[in-house]
Amino acid sequence: MSNETGMDLLRFATAGSVDDGKSTLIGRLLMDSKSIFEDQMESVQKTSQDKGYDYTDLALLTDGLRSEREQGITIDVAYRYFATPNRKFIIADTPGHVQYTRNMVTGASTADLGLVLVDARNGLTEQSHRHAVILSLLRVPHLVLAVNKMDLVDYSEDVYNEIHQQFTQFATKLNIPDLTVIPISALQGDNVVDRSENMDWYSGPTLLHHLEHVHVASDRDLIDARLPVQYVVRPKSDEHHDYRGYAGQIAGGVMKPGDEVIVLPSGMTSKIQAIDLFDKEIDEAFPPMSVTVRLEDDVDVSRGDMIARVNNAPEPSQDIDAMVCWMAPGKLQPRQKLAIKHTTRTGRALVKDIQYKMDINTLHRDQDADELALNEIGRIKLRTTVPLLCDPYSRNRDTGSFILIDEATGVTVAAGMIND
Amino acid sequence: MTKTHSDYRLSQLDQLEAESIHIFREVAAEFEKPVLMFSGGKDSIVMMRLAEKAFYPARIPFPVLQVDTGYDFPEVLATRDNWVDRLGVRLIVASVEQAIKDGIVVDDGKTPRNRLQIGTLLHVLEEEGFTAAFGGGRRDEEKARAKERVFSHRDEFGQWDPKNQRPELWNLYNGRLHEGEHMRIFPISNWTELDIWDYIGREGIEIPSIYYSHQRRVFERDGMLLSESEYNPCREGETVQERTVRFRTVGDLTLTGCVESEADTIDKIVEEVAASRITERGATRGDDRFSEAAMEDRKKEGYF
């Protein structure tokens, strides 16, 4: 088979504007990994020519909607795919402007790695700070700062060192467990896929080499066993008359048959009888596997419940302290009532208090803020109708995150991350 | 032996599978009346397999819907019937032919059947009251699809508004609907063509025989090799020849081209796909060629 064994998956988010060379960089990764096809390239060349451009605009490969092509901007999250023999990659490509913070948050929510691009001529800008802040807020475990357009600063080591140092200093204020800074030229290809001959002073990895080898298996919480129950499997057939399975995606820890477990919020305890993966019983399950767990006792379990270990379970709570990104045209204000979805559990939430609004360019906390507008981020307190079975987001991105939904329109209006 | 962190790693195919199964279960739990759209092509067969796994040992808790253009390959219909029998699901066939007779869609003789599927599909969704329809769309297929959500909201006219999509965060899907609206669900959004083939090979599941290399009478039109059939008569200057071909996608046989190929096993197909320099739609789907924005326009109208 071509890639079944040993090939894993890396999701990375990249934010930035066309001016940073983001489209050129993505175009190059796709081209050099042979993920762009002849007919796509031809269509881009033809369109560039028809529009009277002097060059083939690689941004056309990635700007998908007619309105974007007309305006020459990217207005939403787009997902792109490429693969090398070692790894498959999913890129969440988002526009970098402040009015698109919500899209950046969306792209970063599932990312293992964040890629921040800066133009070597301009150094760090408000936009690069903002991207780093969002990636750290969303607890993206790995961050790469790509110092682009090195060809336009004569491949100067001093320029690179200056930006490297400034960024490292800024990063001390953030939670960035793993930072890598790489000098590149997306246009010329230096240090993207092939090592640069123009920067022999740089001894680190090329961008693609780093993306291929960054270690992500241990980024998930493998200590605290968590299974949010999604669906109860009860076949209505003679053959499986007594089968009762609790299906869901493991959100944390390692579960094995024989484990003593507790079902929340009821607090009933039992043992794992078997873990089914389709038609096989397996020895252990870990994130992000989708499995079906059977218990030894006939306890009452339904969707929205959580199966955890007896001595390591989340504390059910109706008072939630969280960072939220507001994503809707209206305002988030105290006393507002919204629907909340956390893991497989749905309820209603009342906004008790807005503690502060965060300026994502400077990290300044505005304690006087009494509302959040579109694309703003702040710390709030919620009271929920149902107890949530949650962990701090810093510990587990699956059991620490939630969304808020406007009950009248049905639209997702906020992304939330539960505080420690 | 204690395990290290690195041992708790899933291959990318297992990760994609786990993610898709999560989506199937989420929809079955949250929606009143889901339905699985089934074209008989490789993507919808992978969807059937994932649905089978998601609810095993119970049966798939929703029916399967096929929009029949009247121009479907008989090999594809045979595979469809085998799957439906094996899984014991209810099959609903919505016929474009019938929709034309009933005046639901208008056949002006110029519009391809593929386009008439839209009205036929929307009508059957409304008639049966389906609130969620699973489709096998993948984001790697086409530029407009790259922005598609997993839960794709459609208004009461079945339309997709790319500027008004709900943000989709973590693995938390928002399935809220108003009366008359429905949701299209794309569980294999993150799969690529190669992933689909790898998975079919790994699972050893049945797909229509026309995906494998075979002898077929074909003629060339618009740079595509089309199948000779009563629905697709040759025009002047076109000549029919016997060639060794296979199909990379299956759809309306009057529009779906094949490629010359000797690949008669999954492994050989995977090798060919991996080496191919033309995207699957670009090579063989006449319906995407009308304009730079063809797919986007059809999606807005309510296409799959």
Residue A4 has pLDDT above 90, yes or no: no
User: Is the backbone of residue A251 left (phi > 0), alpha (psi -120 to 50) or beta?
Assistant: alpha
Mean pLDDT over each residue of chain B, to the nearest integer? 85
What pLDDT does B231 receive? 80
* Range 18-57 of B in CB contact (< 8 A) with A: 18-19, 21-22, 25-26, 28-29, 52-57
Residues of B in contact with A415 (CB under 8 A): 167, 169
Report the run of H or E that residue A179 belongs to, with start and end: strand A178-183
Rounded-to-integer distance, Cα A323 and Cα A419, Å = 7
Amino acid A3: pLDDT = 39
Alpha-carbon span A210 to A208, nearest angstrom:
5
Q: Give percent of chain A with pLDDT exceeding 90.
A: 68
| Cis preceding-peptide flag for A288 (omega within 30 of 0) | yes
Taking 70 as the threshold, does the pLDDT of residue A10 lie above it?
yes
B267 vs B246: CA distance, rounded Å: 14
Q: Is 70 exceeded by the pLDDT of residue B304?
A: no
pLDDT the model gives residue B279: 61
The residues, any chain, with a CB within 8 Å of residue A364's CB and separated by 6 or more, are A358
Q: Nearest CA to CA, how far is B190 from chain A (Å)?
A: 8
Residues of A whose CB is below 8 A from B194: 2-3, 83
Cβ contacts of A243 on chain B, cutoff 8 Å: 57-58
Do A274 and A320 touch, CB atoms closer than 8 A?
Answer: no
E strand intervals along A42-161 = 78-83, 87-95, 113-119, 142-148
**Interface contact flag, B18 A102, Cβ < 8 Å:** no
Query: Which residue do the tokens 């959580």 mark?
Result: A306
Q: Is the dihedral of CA A73, A79, A82, A83 positive or negative?
A: positive
Q: Searching chain B, which residue's CA lies closest to the CA of residue A65?
A: B144
pLDDT for B290 equals 43
Does residue B67 belong to the interface with chain A, where contact is any CB pair within 8 Å? no
Q: Which of B10, B11, B12, B266 to mutate to test the interface with A (most CBs of A within 10 A)?
A: B12
pLDDT in tens, B104-146: 888 877 776 777 888 888 888 888 999 999 999 998 877 677 7
Chain B residues whose CB is inside 8 A of the A5 CB are 11
How many Å lie between the alpha carbon of B42 and the closest alpha carbon of chain A?
A: 17
Count contacts between A and B (CB, < 8 Å). 212
A290/B19 CB distance under 8 A? yes
Chain A, residues 9-48, CB within 8 A of chain B, namely 9, 37-40, 43, 47
Residue of B nearest to A410 (CA): B176
Q: How many CA atoms lie less than 13 Å away from B161 in the CB half-sphere?
A: 10
Burial class of residue B134 in the structure, from the number of CB atoms within 10 Å of its CB (0-12 exposed, 13-18 middle, 19+ buried)? buried
The whole-number pLDDT of residue B282 equals 57
What count of residues does chain A have? 420
The distance from CA A19 to its chain's CA centroid, rounded to whole angstroms, is 24
Both tokens of B46, joined, read 């992978």
Is the CB of residue B90 less than 8 Å from the CB of residue B64? yes
Band (pLDDT 50/70/90 cuts) for residue B178 is confident
pLDDT value for B289: 47
| CA–CA min distance A23, chain B (Å) | 14
Q: Give yes or no for a contact between A262 and A293, defined as CB atoms under 8 angstroms apart.
A: no
CA proximity to A293, closest of A242, A237, A231, A342:
A231
Whether A237 and B29 lie within 8 Å, measured CB to CB: no
How many angstroms separate the CA of residue B57 from the nearest CA in chain A? Answer: 6
Share of chain A above pLDDT 70, in %: 91
In 3-state terms, what secondary structure has residue B285? strand
**pLDDT tens, residue by residue, A257-316:** 999 999 999 999 999 999 999 999 999 999 999 999 999 999 999 999 999 999 999 989
- Which among A3, A5, A66 has CB closest to B296? A66
